[in-house]
Amino acid sequence: MTGRRFTRLALAASMLAAWSAAGQAQQVRDDEAVARGKAKYEHTCAPCHGRGAGDDGRVMLPGTAALAIKYRGELPPALEDRQGLTADTIRAFVRNGSFSMPPFRPTELTDREIDDIAAYLAVSSSAAAAGSQR
Ligand code: HEC
Protein backbone atom coordinates (compact mmCIF):
# COMPACT_ATOMS: atom_id res chain seq x y z
CA MET A 1 0.00 0.00 0.00
CA THR A 2 1.43 3.37 -0.88
CA GLY A 3 1.79 5.93 1.84
CA ARG A 4 -0.59 8.24 0.08
CA ARG A 5 -3.31 5.67 -0.24
CA PHE A 6 -2.86 4.77 3.41
CA THR A 7 -3.24 8.41 4.41
CA ARG A 8 -6.42 8.64 2.40
CA LEU A 9 -7.79 5.49 4.02
CA ALA A 10 -6.85 6.69 7.49
CA LEU A 11 -8.51 10.01 6.77
CA ALA A 12 -11.66 8.27 5.56
CA ALA A 13 -11.71 6.06 8.67
CA SER A 14 -11.30 8.99 11.02
CA MET A 15 -14.00 10.92 9.20
CA LEU A 16 -16.30 7.93 9.53
CA ALA A 17 -15.55 7.69 13.26
CA ALA A 18 -16.23 11.40 13.75
CA TRP A 19 -19.42 11.15 11.72
CA SER A 20 -20.77 8.22 13.72
CA ALA A 21 -19.84 9.88 17.04
CA ALA A 22 -21.70 12.98 15.88
CA GLY A 23 -24.61 10.77 14.89
CA GLN A 24 -24.69 9.17 18.31
CA ALA A 25 -24.54 12.54 20.04
CA GLN A 26 -27.41 13.73 17.83
CA GLN A 27 -29.39 10.59 18.69
CA VAL A 28 -28.90 11.24 22.42
CA ARG A 29 -30.06 14.84 21.96
CA ASP A 30 -33.10 13.65 19.98
CA ASP A 31 -33.97 11.08 22.66
CA GLU A 32 -33.71 13.77 25.33
CA ALA A 33 -35.96 16.10 23.33
CA VAL A 34 -38.53 13.29 22.91
CA ALA A 35 -38.44 12.51 26.65
CA ARG A 36 -38.86 16.20 27.57
CA GLY A 37 -41.62 16.57 24.97
CA LYS A 38 -43.48 13.53 26.28
CA ALA A 39 -43.47 14.87 29.85
CA LYS A 40 -44.58 18.32 28.69
CA TYR A 41 -47.27 16.90 26.42
CA GLU A 42 -48.67 14.67 29.15
CA HIS A 43 -48.83 17.57 31.59
CA THR A 44 -50.00 20.37 29.28
CA CYS A 45 -51.81 18.85 26.30
CA ALA A 46 -53.00 15.34 27.17
CA PRO A 47 -55.72 16.53 29.60
CA CYS A 48 -57.53 17.70 26.42
CA HIS A 49 -55.77 15.68 23.70
CA GLY A 50 -55.19 12.30 25.36
CA ARG A 51 -56.12 9.01 23.79
CA GLY A 52 -57.98 7.55 26.73
CA ALA A 53 -59.69 8.71 29.88
CA GLY A 54 -59.10 12.24 31.16
CA ASP A 55 -57.26 13.33 34.29
CA ASP A 56 -59.99 12.23 36.66
CA GLY A 57 -60.54 8.90 34.88
CA ARG A 58 -63.60 10.17 33.03
CA VAL A 59 -63.57 10.58 29.29
CA MET A 60 -63.61 14.36 29.03
CA LEU A 61 -61.14 15.20 26.32
CA PRO A 62 -62.32 18.30 24.47
CA GLY A 63 -59.33 18.31 22.08
CA THR A 64 -59.66 14.67 21.02
CA ALA A 65 -63.47 15.01 20.85
CA ALA A 66 -63.31 18.21 18.73
CA LEU A 67 -60.78 16.67 16.31
CA ALA A 68 -62.91 13.52 15.98
CA ILE A 69 -65.79 15.76 14.82
CA LYS A 70 -63.52 17.93 12.64
CA TYR A 71 -61.92 15.05 10.72
CA ARG A 72 -64.77 12.50 10.87
CA GLY A 73 -62.43 9.54 10.93
CA GLU A 74 -60.22 10.78 8.06
CA LEU A 75 -57.44 11.58 10.53
CA PRO A 76 -56.91 10.04 13.98
CA PRO A 77 -58.40 12.32 16.66
CA ALA A 78 -55.55 11.84 19.17
CA LEU A 79 -52.50 13.99 18.35
CA GLU A 80 -50.21 11.15 19.46
CA ASP A 81 -51.55 9.09 16.53
CA ARG A 82 -51.41 11.90 13.95
CA GLN A 83 -48.59 11.82 11.41
CA GLY A 84 -47.00 14.81 9.72
CA LEU A 85 -47.72 17.41 12.42
CA THR A 86 -44.75 19.75 12.05
CA ALA A 87 -43.37 21.97 14.81
CA ASP A 88 -44.55 25.00 12.80
CA THR A 89 -48.13 23.71 12.60
CA ILE A 90 -48.16 22.87 16.29
CA ARG A 91 -46.68 26.28 17.11
CA ALA A 92 -49.39 28.07 15.10
CA PHE A 93 -52.20 26.37 17.05
CA VAL A 94 -50.44 26.59 20.42
CA ARG A 95 -49.62 30.30 20.09
CA ASN A 96 -53.03 31.33 18.72
CA GLY A 97 -55.41 28.79 20.24
CA SER A 98 -58.36 27.44 18.28
CA PHE A 99 -61.99 27.57 19.43
CA SER A 100 -61.95 26.13 22.96
CA MET A 101 -58.17 25.52 22.87
CA PRO A 102 -56.48 28.34 24.79
CA PRO A 103 -53.38 30.09 23.41
CA PHE A 104 -50.12 29.54 25.30
CA ARG A 105 -47.71 32.47 25.77
CA PRO A 106 -43.94 31.95 25.52
CA THR A 107 -43.75 32.42 29.30
CA GLU A 108 -46.09 29.43 29.71
CA LEU A 109 -44.58 27.25 26.99
CA THR A 110 -41.29 28.15 25.30
CA ASP A 111 -40.51 27.63 21.61
CA ARG A 112 -38.06 24.92 22.60
CA GLU A 113 -40.77 23.14 24.57
CA ILE A 114 -43.00 23.24 21.50
CA ASP A 115 -40.14 21.74 19.44
CA ASP A 116 -39.78 19.02 22.09
CA ILE A 117 -43.52 18.27 21.91
CA ALA A 118 -43.24 18.07 18.09
CA ALA A 119 -40.32 15.61 18.46
CA TYR A 120 -42.39 13.48 20.84
CA LEU A 121 -45.50 13.54 18.62
CA ALA A 122 -43.44 12.50 15.55
CA VAL A 123 -42.08 9.48 17.44
CA SER A 124 -45.40 8.51 19.06
CA SER A 125 -47.33 8.70 15.79
CA SER A 126 -44.81 6.63 13.83
CA ALA A 127 -44.88 4.02 16.61
CA ALA A 128 -48.69 4.05 16.42
CA ALA A 129 -48.58 3.62 12.61
CA ALA A 130 -46.08 0.74 12.91
CA GLY A 131 -48.37 -0.90 15.50
CA SER A 132 -51.46 -0.59 13.30
CA GLN A 133 -49.70 -2.36 10.40
CA ARG A 134 -49.24 -5.49 12.43
C1 HEC B 1 -58.23 23.09 27.20
C2 HEC B 1 -58.09 22.03 26.24
C3 HEC B 1 -56.86 22.03 25.36
C4 HEC B 1 -55.54 22.07 25.71
C5 HEC B 1 -54.96 22.19 27.12
C6 HEC B 1 -54.79 21.93 24.50
N7 HEC B 1 -55.62 21.84 23.42
FE8 HEC B 1 -55.07 21.65 21.48
N9 HEC B 1 -57.01 21.72 20.91
C10 HEC B 1 -58.10 21.76 21.77
C11 HEC B 1 -59.31 21.76 20.99
C12 HEC B 1 -60.73 21.77 21.53
C13 HEC B 1 -58.91 21.74 19.64
C14 HEC B 1 -59.80 21.71 18.40
C15 HEC B 1 -60.18 23.10 18.02
C16 HEC B 1 -60.97 23.07 16.75
O17 HEC B 1 -62.10 22.56 16.74
O18 HEC B 1 -60.42 23.53 15.74
C19 HEC B 1 -57.47 21.72 19.63
C20 HEC B 1 -56.70 21.70 18.49
C21 HEC B 1 -55.32 21.52 18.45
C22 HEC B 1 -54.53 21.38 17.26
C23 HEC B 1 -55.05 21.47 15.84
C24 HEC B 1 -55.22 20.11 15.24
C25 HEC B 1 -55.99 20.20 13.94
O26 HEC B 1 -55.70 19.38 13.06
O27 HEC B 1 -56.88 21.05 13.78
C28 HEC B 1 -53.24 21.21 17.65
C29 HEC B 1 -52.03 21.01 16.73
C30 HEC B 1 -53.22 21.24 19.09
N31 HEC B 1 -54.50 21.43 19.54
C32 HEC B 1 -52.10 21.07 19.84
C33 HEC B 1 -52.08 21.21 21.22
C34 HEC B 1 -50.88 21.09 22.01
C35 HEC B 1 -49.50 20.76 21.46
C36 HEC B 1 -51.23 21.34 23.30
C37 HEC B 1 -50.36 21.39 24.51
C38 HEC B 1 -49.33 22.37 24.49
C39 HEC B 1 -52.67 21.59 23.32
N40 HEC B 1 -53.13 21.50 22.04
C41 HEC B 1 -53.40 21.88 24.47
C42 HEC B 1 -58.06 21.79 23.15
C43 HEC B 1 -56.91 21.89 23.90
* Span 27-84, pLDDT tens digits: 888 999 999 999 999 999 998 999 876 566 666 689 999 999 999 999 999 999 999 9
Ligand 1 closest atom vs CA 69? 17
**pLDDT tens profile 49-58:** 998 765 666 6
Question: 77 in helix, strand or coil?
Answer: coil
Q: Tell me how far apart the alpha carbons of residues 79 and 59 are, in angstroms, rounded to a whole number.
A: 16
Which residues does a 6 A CB cutoff place in the pocket of ligand 1?
44-45, 47-49, 62-63, 66-67, 70, 79, 85, 90, 93-94, 98-102, 104, 109, 117
In order of their start, the domains of the chain are: 30-132 (1.10.760.10)
How many A from CA of 84 to the centre of ligand 1? 15
Does the pLDDT at position 85 exceed 70? yes
Mean pLDDT, residues 105-113 taken together: 97
How many other β-carbons are positioned within 10 Å of the β-carbon of residue 123?
18
How many A from CA of 79 to the centre of ligand 1? 9
Q: Can you give the pLDDT at residue 55?
A: 61
Q: Can you give the pLDDT at residue 134?
A: 45
Nearest CA to ligand 1 atom 19: 63
